[in-house]
């Protein structure tokens, strides 16, 4: 899965914010404020080819001090929210 084309991630002050651009800005006019882990996951999902839940979990466990159960649960919630908002594509 990956972030649909047309979303960009930018730093605004101390926050990381994702916004829709181009045609998507008419469909999705919200700002998405992400913490550091959310921005990390967003960048992985925005990369060429995207990422699956397993590779996201591996990357988070390597980058952050967090237990596997919590990481997988948090990633699942994050992906569910992005999917429900129509931001992810297969």
Strands (E), 1-90: 2-3, 7-12, 15-20, 32-34, 88-89
* The pair of three-digit structure tokens given for residue 31, joined into one six-digit string: 């700002």
Whole-number Å distance between alpha carbons of 87 and 62: 25
Q: Are 19 and 8 in contact (CB under 8 A)?
A: yes
| pTM, to two decimals | 0.90
Query: Could you report the per-residue pLDDT of 10-55, keeping only the tens digit for each?
Result: 999 888 999 888 877 777 777 899 999 999 999 999 999 999 999 9
């Amino acid at each position: 899965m990956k972030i649909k084309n047309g979303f960009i991630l930018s730093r605004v002050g101390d926050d990381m914010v994702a916004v829709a651009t181009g045609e998507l800005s008419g469909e999705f006019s919200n700002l998405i404020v992400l913490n550091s882990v959310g921005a990390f996951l967003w960048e992985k999902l925005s990369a060429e080819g995207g990422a699956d839940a397993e590779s996201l979990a591996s990357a988070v466990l390597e980058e952050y001090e967090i237990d596997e159960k919590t990481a997988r649960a948090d990633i699942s919630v994050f992906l569910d929210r992005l999917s429900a908002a129509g931001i992810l594509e297969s």
